Structure formats: C-alpha cells, structure tokens
C-alpha cells in the first residue's frame, strides 16, 4: 500500500478479503445517533470501489478501456447491531462467485471484530447502453485470485 492509499483508507487484503476502514461521521447518523441504515450501502459501495483500485482498476478506466460498468442487481442486508457516531468500522469484502456477466460478493461491516451488518451483493457487469456484458478477462482473473487466496479454517 502506498502513502496515498494508507492516508485515504484504500484498505488492505487479508485471507482473500479486502478490508476498508470507515469512521462514522455525524452526517452518517440519524436523530438517535445511530448510523442510518442506507449509509451502510454507501460504506459497501466505497469498499467495492477501493477493492477495484487495490486490484489495479477503477470505474473510469473500466468505462474507457472496456466500455463496462457494474450495477447492483441484488442486495440482501442483515442489520445485526447499530453503529454510532465516531465508531471505527471495517468493511470486509469477499468475492464469493463469478458468473459470465456477474459477480457475487459478501460484505460485512464490523466493529471491534463483531458483525454489525452482513450483506450479500450481486453485481451485474453491463455496457453503458444497459445490456449485459461479460466480465473483462483481467477483472475476472483478479477476482478469481482473491477467491483462490482465501484460507479456509474448520
């Protein structure tokens, strides 16, 4: 990780997961001082973007070089515990499955090792005209390398 990544929360990879640190700011909370539920989706989006950057890609270059973008096709979220103002969170992102034009990810927001929100995300790879597109080979290979680097423990 370079100095810019370290100072801008680009995250780290560990056991096949990309981990992005997040600090809860006032703007993330509701009247009760809890993280507003929709903001977890924003945290997850940031984590997926930084995962791509860590792998050497970004949304602009995918558009310019491959003519594709990712869109959330499905999202299931299980809200387990609330996060609060100034909490230090981590978003753990794992690639779970690859298909021709989609990728399935698990994203878990944690605080001090405890699961706060668990999400199952399916991303569709699509052209800018809205039609499905196969995952670019280099992106697929990078996602596959993450899946292969997981250490399974019983």
Active-site residue, 64 included: no
Q: 151 falls in which pLDDT band (50, 70, 90)?
A: low
Q: Give tens-digit pLDDT for 15-69.
A: 779 999 999 999 999 999 999 999 999 999 999 999 999 999 999 999 999 999 9
Sheet of 102-111, strands arranged across:
12-14, 17-23, 88-98, 102-111, 114-127, 68-79
Which of 96, 54, 52 is closest to 74 using CA atoms?
96
Among 15, 30, 58, 86, the one annotated catalytic: 30
For the full predicted model, state whether its pTM sits above 0.85: yes
Domains of the chain: 3-148 (3.10.129.10)
């Amino acid at each position: 990780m370079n100095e810019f990544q370290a100072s801008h929360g680009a995250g780290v990879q560990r056991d096949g997961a990309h981990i992005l640190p997040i600090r809860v700011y006032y703007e993330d909370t509701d009247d009760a001082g809890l993280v507003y539920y929709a903001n977890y989706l924003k945290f997850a989006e940031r984590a997926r973007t930084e995962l791509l950057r860590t792998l050497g890609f970004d949304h602009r270059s995918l558009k310019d070089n491959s003519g594709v973008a990712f869109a959330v096709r499905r999202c299931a979220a299980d809200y387990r515990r609330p996060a609060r103002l100034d909490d230090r969170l981590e978003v753990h992102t794992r690639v779970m499955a690859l298909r021709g034009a989609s990728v399935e990810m698990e994203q878990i927001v944690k605080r001090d090792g405890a699961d706060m929100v668990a999400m199952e995300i399916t991303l569709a790879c699509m052209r800018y005209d809205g039609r499905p597109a196969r995952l670019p080979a280099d992106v697929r290979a990078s996602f596959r390398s993450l899946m292969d680097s997981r250490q399974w423990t019983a």
